Structure 1
Amino acid sequence: MISNKEVRLIEIPKIHDLRGNLSVIQGDTIPFVSNRVYYLYDIPGGSKRGGHAHKEQKEFLVALSGSFDVVLKDGQFDTKVTLNKPNFGLLIEKGIWRELENFSSGSVCLVLASGEFDEDDYIRDFDDFKLFKNS
């Protein structure tokens, strides 16, 4: 069973330069091949995003700008991780419920996903998620 222990922060290599920093996600930076990239932005104050789990898909979240909290639930434990550095990302394994909240003004959340969009891979109801975790 996948638990919050499998969720981890991964440092993205940073190349420092007087003109600014550059970070690159390639090769084995993350433990999966990204098949979909999307980003969240212009999120109104007080709004929440996420509120689902994936049956098979893994995701890697990066706060490109600003900050936000990621609330993770594995069916037994809840964990909250604040993302606020563009050279660190959060690896979320399959079977973990996630909610994004507390977005700062101007925040941008980049998501690299292991699969293309597939509605059948989503669990959008928390009671269904608990049943999925207990099966």
Structure 2
Amino acid sequence: MSVFVHPQGLCESETIGDGTRIWAFAHVLPGARIGRDCNICDHVFIENDVVVGDRVTIKCGVQLWDGVRLEDDVFVGPNVTFTNDPFPRSKIYPERFAQTVVARGASIGANATILPGVRIGANAMVGAGAVVTRDVPANAVIVGNPATIVNYANAVHDTPATFNTTQQVGVRECSVPGVTVHTFPLVGDMRGKLTVGEFTDQVPFVPKRFFMVFDVPGRNVRGQHAHKVCHQFLICTHGSCSVMVDDGTRREEIRLDSPNLAVYMPPMIWGVQYKYSPDAVLLVFASDPYDANDYVRDYDEFLALLAKDPPARP
């Protein structure tokens, strides 16, 4: 294996992995480090303090400035703009440029703008033209200016065809093992409506704590963590929101849009709540008192814990 540099390309770095191809009018400065089997397309500029992993594709018209880190298997679309200084001035340089990280397997669509210092999580997808102003969670699909989460990659979605909240009272298994979706009876007459559930007959644990989430700005995302020990039971008592559950391999989005619907999440399930309606009130029952050490807030740490000690699922 060897490195291919087009006759009209300029590669000043000697730290280039085997199988990497650098095409016409691309310019790689001496300090840059590029991994194996990468494809650096026409008119790409790569500055000195840049690290690119293996099997990365960088399409035409991209500039990677000091501080950019692209992990393995990243895709960067045409004319994506990276930035590294939040307050740029001509001939005035910061002591240290902000570090921007695009984690393994993430994709960035054409003409997106990435502000300095953000982290784009593993397997995330940034839509074309998006302006990324904040960190992006692993697996999130984001679009817009400023970019917001609209979906999660490779997620299964509930639809009325597979789950009817008014007819199928009971419990169904989610596509993520261990997670269950509960529909409680909904009784109504001229006096109003009522729904009811019982611990531990219908809810699989006796709660020791509850909390409520409300007045969430519609673009904000809650959760983004797993619990090592704690079980949770989520009900949207008013309005609606979506719950994303993820076991590290499979993920499913469950829409809670009726107070007789609930989601049970066992320990070591990554959970995200988003797509809140302005009037949403999310009630969460927890099996244990609050313990900061029970939270797993980093997705890579979550995957490592699963690999080390996979939980038993029914």
User: Shift of residue 25 of structure 1?
Assistant: 3.0
Give the 3-state SS of the residue equivalent to 2:177 in structure 1: helix
User: Are 2:247 and 1:74 aligned?
Assistant: yes
Instruction: Name 1:8's counterpart in structure 2.
Output: 180
- Greater RCO (Cα-Cα under 8 Å, separation 6 or more): 1
- Number of the residue aligned with 1:25: 197
Unaligned runs of 5+ in 1: none
**Aligned equivalents of 1:19 and 1:29: distance in 2?**
26
Choose from 190, 212, 221 the match for 1:48: 221
Displacement after TM superposition at 1:23 (Å): 2.0
| TM-score between the two structures when normalised by the length of structure 2 | 0.41
More helix by share: 1
Q: After superposition, what is the alpha-carbon deviation per residue over 1:21-42, rounded to whole angstroms, capped at 9, x for unaligned?
A: 1223323120100111111000
1:57 is aligned with what amino acid?
C
In structure 1, the residue matched to 2:260 is 87
Structure 2 counterpart of 1:22, one-letter code: L
- 1:76-134: CA deviation from partner (whole Å, max 9, x where unpaired): 11211111110010001111000111101100100011111011111011111011110
Structure 2 Cα separation of the partners of residues 128 and 75 of structure 1: 11
SS in 2 for 1:91: strand
Q: Distance in 2 between matches of 1:82 and 1:72?
A: 11
Whole-angstrom distance in 1 between the partners of 2:197 and 2:292: 26
The one-letter code sitting in structure 1 at the alignment partner of 2:291 is D
Identical counterparts, % of pairs? 35
Structure 2, unaligned runs of 5 or more: 1-174, 309-314
Distance (whole Å) between structure 1 residues aligned to residue 295 and residue 253 of structure 2:
21
Amino acid paired to 2:204: P
| Structure with the bigger percentage of strand | 1
Q: How many residues align?
A: 133
**Corresponding position of 1:101:** 274
C-alpha separation between the residues in 1 aligned to 2:283 and 2:217? 17
Q: What TM-score does the superposition give when structure 1 sets the normalisation length?
A: 0.92
Match of 2:151 in 1: none
Any idea what SS the aligned residue of 1:106 has? coil
Q: Report the Cα distance in structure 2 between the residues aligned to 1:17 and 1:58, rounded to whole angstroms.
A: 34
Q: Deviations over 1:49-95 (max 9, x none)?
A: 00000011110101111111111110111211111110010001111
- The letter for the 2-side match of 1:14 is L
Counterpart of 1:123 in structure 2 is: 296
